[in-house]
Amino acid sequence: MFDVIVIGGNLAGASAAINAVEKGVNVALVERHKEPFSPPHCGEGIADVTGELLELDKINCPKNEIKFVQINVSTFKEYLFKLKTQKIFIIDRNYVEKSLLEKAEKKGVTLFLGVSMSDFKSPNNVILDNEENISGRVIIDASGIACQVGRRIGLKTHLKPEDIGVCIQSRVKSNFNNLIQKMWFHTPYAPFGYAWVFPKSNTLANIGLGIPGGQKVDLDELLKNYINFITDGNCTVLSTFRSCVPSGLPLQPLVQDNVMFVGDAARLVDSATGAGIHHAICSGSLSGCIAAKYVRGVLPSLEIYQTEMQNKISRLTRTYYNKSKLTTDQKYISAYKKAWALLSITNKIFPNFFQGYVAKVLRKDYAILEKYK
């Protein structure tokens, strides 16, 4: 029997496995893909605080540093944010995930790559699609929006269409200002969501959009129009993918008996922006630490994970309910214009305060994790 089994080898799952094995317990990780998606199903933008958790410099991860963020809300009026104290990087997620899995294996994690979990028999048994059965004292569900273990133990994992972020993104070759990250909220490109340009270099960018599900729109046409707007039609689309992210309320509970939930499986995603990388890494890392210390008898209960995550859950819950009130074009546009205008003015007058506050919120997660390292 393994001490800890992690279902899912994404950022959350790999982080969980590494942090658990570093505490001296026996860990297995099950990932249905032999290799991470290439190109990744992700915009690949992260804050520098998150980059520290991933040790980007240590693993020599390719990255592009963003100096400005340009915001539009349904019009050509721009809100431009100059980044002074906080940094944003566009990373190579594929490179990061491969590095994490390699690190996990070197530290002693048993990897089951290219193998899916076909069933889960509570409380300990994971049945794989190669007919192999493995068991674990603690199970960490990092299976993404499908929440594979949670669904099988009876949690309410079903999401309403409007609580699913429907995304489409292309890797585009053209001429870009690699210092500027662009985000266009709402119409005409991303109704009740936003479209983005995350430049990886001055010739390559991730261009995509994400909107609430349930809308009768043509995603391909919306993306095509946005790419043409950004590039004036002078571009080459190298690849395109579709994906879904949870944008509903965080899953409750995050701990059920001996099962813990992290990342998208726990619905730890900002419903206003779709941002989830930071939450995935923090929740994965924390769950791995707590699971290992529980197995070793250092901690009395896995419920400590639920307690430590409560502030994050509360923040994400407030964001969800605030966004849920914006049910019409007028309400959405008015609220977002007011918010970005206020933030833009604050950033110009007090850049250190505004950007420092954002960094402080992110570092709170870092501080929680350090308690259990």
**Model pLDDT for residues 2-27, shown as the tens digit of each residue:** 999 999 999 999 999 999 999 999 99
CATH of range 2-63+91-159+248-326; options 1.10.240.10, 3.50.50.60, 3.40.50.620, 3.20.20.10: 3.50.50.60
Whole-number Å distance between alpha carbons of 86 and 358: 8
Residue closest to 261 by CA, chosen among 3, 1, 8: 8
**Residue 132 per-residue DSSP state:** -
Q: Which amino acid would we find at residue 271? A: S
226, 184 contact by CB (below 8 A): yes
Beta pairing partners, 139:
5, 259
**Model pLDDT for residues 51-62, shown as the tens digit of each residue:** 998 999 999 999
Is the pLDDT score of 358 beyond 90? Answer: no
Q: What is the pLDDT of residue 190?
A: 98
User: What stretches of the chain adopt beta strand conformation (E)?
Assistant: 2-7, 27-31, 45-47, 63-66, 68-73, 78-82, 88-91, 110-113, 117-121, 125-128, 133-141, 164-173, 180-186, 190-199, 204-212, 236-246, 255-256, 259-261
Q: What is the pLDDT of residue 36?
A: 78
Residue with tokens 């043409």: 228
Q: For residues 129-140, b (16+ Cβ closer than 10 Å) or e, as one string?
A: eeeeebebbbbb
CA distances to 88, 96, 99, 146, 358 from 56, rounded to whole Å, are 13, 8, 10, 28, 20
**Model pLDDT for residues 67-82, shown as the tens digit of each residue:** 999 999 999 999 999 9
Q: How much is the pTM?
A: 0.95
**Model pLDDT for residues 243-252, shown as the tens digit of each residue:** 999 999 999 9
The domain segmentation of the chain, as residue ranges, is 2-63+91-159+248-326
Per-residue pLDDT, averaged over 343-351, amounts to 86
Burial of residue 325 (CB within 10 Å: 0-12, 13-18, 19+) is exposed
Whole-number Å distance between alpha carbons of 11 and 278: 9
Question: Alpha-carbon Rg of the chain, whole angstroms?
Answer: 20
Sign of CA dihedral 266, 271, 276, 282: negative
Beta pairing partners, 295:
none
Q: What is the pLDDT of residue 365?
A: 86
Give the max Cα distance, the chain.
62
Q: How confident is the model at residue 346 (pLDDT cuts 50, 70, 90)?
A: confident
